[in-house]
Amino acid sequence: MNLKYSPRSIENKWQSVWEQEGAFAVREDPEREKYYLLEMFPYPSGRIHMGHVRNYSIGDVVARFLRMQGYNVLHPMGWDAFGMPAENAAIKAKTHPAKWTYDNIDYMRSQLKKLGFSYDWSREFATCDVSYYRWEQLFFLKMYEKGLAYRRSAYVNWCETCQTVLANEQVEDGACWRCDQAVVQKQMEQWFFRITDYVEELLDYTYKLPGWPERVLTMQQNWIGKSFGSKIHFPLADREGSLTVFTTRADTLFGATFMSLAPEHPLVAELCSGKPEQAGVLEFVEKAKLAKRSDRETEILEKEGVFTGSFCINPVTQRRIPVYIANFVVMEYGTGAVMAVPAHDQRDFELARKYDLPVKLVIKPADAEPVAAESLTQADEEDGVLVDSGPFTGMTSAEAREAVTRHLAEKGLGELTVQYRLRDWGISRQRYWGAPIPIIYCESCGAVPVPEADLPVVLPTEVAMLENGASPLPSYEPFVKAACPRCKGPGRRETDTMDTFVESSWYFARFACADHDRSPLDFERVKYWMPVNQYIGGIEHAVLHLLYSRFFTKVLRDLGYLEADEPFMNLLTQGMVIKDGSKMSKSKGNVVDPDEMVENYGADTVRLFCLFAAPPEKDLEWSAQGVEGAARFLGRVWRLVADHRDALREAVPYDGNGSIGRDLSGLHRKTHGTIKKVTDDIRDRFHFNTAIAAVMELVNQIYQTLDSKPVDEAFWPVVREAVDAVLLLISPIVPHITEELWRQLGHAETLVRTPWPAWREDALKAEEILVVVQVNGKLRSRLVIAADATEEQMRKAAVEDRRVQEFVAGKTIRKIVTVPGKLINIVV
């Protein structure tokens, strides 16, 4: 009776068995080692795509593997459910974002279940559930109390299409990360999280996360952008006050011959007021601001500047130096003012040549004479030795940076400082489908936090969406009208919602909790599970979600909600799924639908292909033939059992006791070698492709063995041992077909509850081994010799070998290199 492999019925059957048994539900167990495995949760966009399938297949293999190894594995799934696509879709389909979102969740959940992923579904939640975001509002209040959430007016990135503000991290090449619309700068009152308070710890820990990919860490380090330098105050020449610059090159201070301000610098208007240059300056400023917006992502602008009419004093030379405004100086970095040292900074050099400003050389190469400033064709930006710099002349750049600054500090004109690129996280979004910010504005009391007892501020779901895409909240009076919590007078609610990245900044801790109503985080449970041992997701979140989550975890720790310093101990960034050379997308028409694939081939084949075709961190090229190949392999495994079921059922797996023939001992050895290889590949490297290849080799060898006739009573036991190993080893990858075959072989327990197989060292040893013989590093012969041969015996066998003799004939052997059990190299 040869049942044909028909994935659909098998997969349905085992999925419901697992569900009925609650096979993947976990609770805290101090007796067992915990392992928290998490894949980035999806946005419920409608249907899962191949990227999800790949991401979750990788995670599922690890979860199932570790469970079989005896770990207490937490493997949850949920939904990153707030966000703008829901609003857009709802407007288009004339429905409500909530309905659209929850419908999508229902469908996508069923898709994930059909793929057989081993989640503890009892922990599922969506971030748009009131029971989730209510606690986020509490965190906001706690952060507000500690000054970690604050409101200020600022130039912010505004996306006209999305009708909302974007964080710096959400602007890519000057355009919105989601819709690609060019971002404009707009001055607005916004709420910020003070991520800069944690900048040092965030940076420090990038050196303490060995389980993260190097490139993600360096991306975060670049984003944080720490640089050491000095703040130097230049007194204004004809009035009170001073201009402060940030520089990393205090050693070049004697060469500062003018000053450059950003067009947005707050002192610009004052400095030119009443001067003949005023009109020209204001015109220049307007032009520069416009140009910045439109050309930000394109070519670097030609350097231009304009004199303000004012002067300041170089604090070491005491010279009056002109104050310019320059189009390349950015207000957001440093102080928005730059001391210009044309001899030693290329940008300043270009400006000086253009406006005929003095160029003064103050650094020379350590081993050469200084050149004349007039003959410079470009700035010399290298460190060197100071010249023409008063008491500092002769010092090296490094010495002078400190000495000059110390000298200034004594006079109150400067200080050593550290500058970061990272800026605070603007979290206000002028969107509807998000968590309301729990603030009420009162005419007399200003911004007043909603009292804890009044939480949650529930997002009203009875509102109608507006056609133009703007948030309906500001015009929805029942929501907006609220009494001031402080003076009870009339107030208006904040109608901005929080950036959806706030929700994804703590969901991983929430999965560890049981009681979702009474507290935000269940301290003891979170303590047991956190941090996440292994996090798996796409590289695109390298500085967004992965930085925000690290920050938020530290905030929650300092607020006393959890203990972990970092959310994710190990990070695996999986590659994209591509087809015909580019990422799958509707516009390219190269999308492969997971549903269709599961329908045609079954979940096991789809999972197998995703894991076999490439190692997880590399991009995966989708190949229809590759899928066929995966299906073919499963067919071979199926027939292995189906064609020999009775003989296999009756056989007791060989346990290594009792002598067996040469071929059978080869299979036995291969079985144990494969167990070792697969275990190592999955545990240490997540290289499922090579693990699968190893099992394929074992399957091939079983078929070869079956081709020989059963000659002794050990035959079926040895084959049975090998077949059992095959099923166990690939069960995390293709869980359904293996459960079915395992059951057919007479096992009573599911594979899910069966321990991972162990290999026996003694079974790996062969009596004879293959030794490679080289002459002068070139492969010349292979020898089969006894495994316990001494080096002496190896050498003797090699030298006596017929083929080796041909190459050695007539030459003197100068040296013989021996690698025991592996290789001999004869040097002549």
Partner RNA sequence: GCCUGGGUGGUGGAACCGGUAGACACAAGGGACUUAAAAUCCCUUGGGGCUUGCCCCCGUGCGGGUUCGAUUCCCGCCCCAGGCACCA
Distance CA 689, CA 701 (A): 19
* Nearest to 196, CA basis, from 567, 554, 513, 507: 554
Smallest distance from RNA to CB 626, Å: 5
Task: Return the exposure string of 333-344: e unless at least 16 CB atoms fall within 10 Å of the residue's CB, then b.
Answer: bbbbbbbbbbbb
CA distances 323 to 203, 227, 235, 788, Å, are 36, 25, 11, 84
Q: Any idea which residue has 């360096």 for tokens?
A: 218
Where is 429: in which H helix or E strand? strand 428-429
Smallest distance from RNA to CB 12, Å: 23
Which tokens sit at 5? 């492999």
CB closer to RNA, 129 vs 697: 697
- How many CB atoms are located within 10 Å of the residue 298 CB? 9
CB closer to RNA, 15 vs 157: 157
CB closer to RNA, 344 vs 736: 344
Instruction: Compute the chain's Rg from CA coordinates.
Output: 35
Distance CA 394, CA 390 (A): 9
794: left (phi over 0), alpha (psi -120 to 50) or beta: alpha
CB closer to RNA, 86 vs 734: 734
CB closer to RNA, 518 vs 802: 802
Distance CA 734, CA 118 (A): 12
Distance CA 769, CA 610 (A): 36
CB closer to RNA, 215 vs 753: 215
Smallest distance from RNA to CB 540, Å: 8
CB closer to RNA, 278 vs 417: 417
Q: What is the dihedral of CA 89, 91, 96, 98, to 10 degrees?
A: 40
Smallest distance from RNA to CB 807, Å: 7
Smallest distance from RNA to CB 334, Å: 3
Task: Return the exposure string of 125-140: e unless at least 16 CB atoms fall within 10 Å of the residue's CB, then b.
Answer: bbbbeeebbbbbbbbb
CB closer to RNA, 450 vs 692: 692
Distance CA 72, CA 20 (A): 19
Helices (H), ranges, 567-661:
594-601, 603-612, 624-642, 645-650
Smallest distance from RNA to CB 8, Å: 18
CB closer to RNA, 218 vs 708: 218
Distance CA 159, CA 426 (A): 14
* Nearest to 79, CA basis, from 125, 136, 122, 116: 125
Smallest distance from RNA to CB 621, Å: 5
Smallest distance from RNA to CB 539, Å: 6
CB closer to RNA, 231 vs 510: 231
Smallest distance from RNA to CB 733, Å: 13
CA distances 53 to 17, 208, 544, 603, 644, Å, are 22, 31, 22, 10, 33
CB closer to RNA, 143 vs 613: 613
- CA 682, 689, 655, 662 dihedral sign is negative
Smallest distance from RNA to CB 366, Å: 20
CB closer to RNA, 339 vs 789: 339
Smallest distance from RNA to CB 151, Å: 24
Distance CA 440, CA 460 (A): 16
CB closer to RNA, 90 vs 542: 542
Interacting residues of 310 by C-beta distance below 8 A, sequence separation 6+: 236, 237, 238, 239, 271, 272, 275, 322, 323
CB closer to RNA, 92 vs 215: 215
SS3 category, 783? strand
Smallest distance from RNA to CB 345, Å: 6
Smallest distance from RNA to CB 365, Å: 18
Smallest distance from RNA to CB 606, Å: 14
Residues 158, 183 contacting (CB under 8 angstroms):
yes
Question: What one-letter code names the amino acid at 700?
Answer: N
CA distances 763 to 60, 653, 656, 660, 751, Å, are 30, 14, 7, 12, 24
Which tokens sit at 293? 């917006």
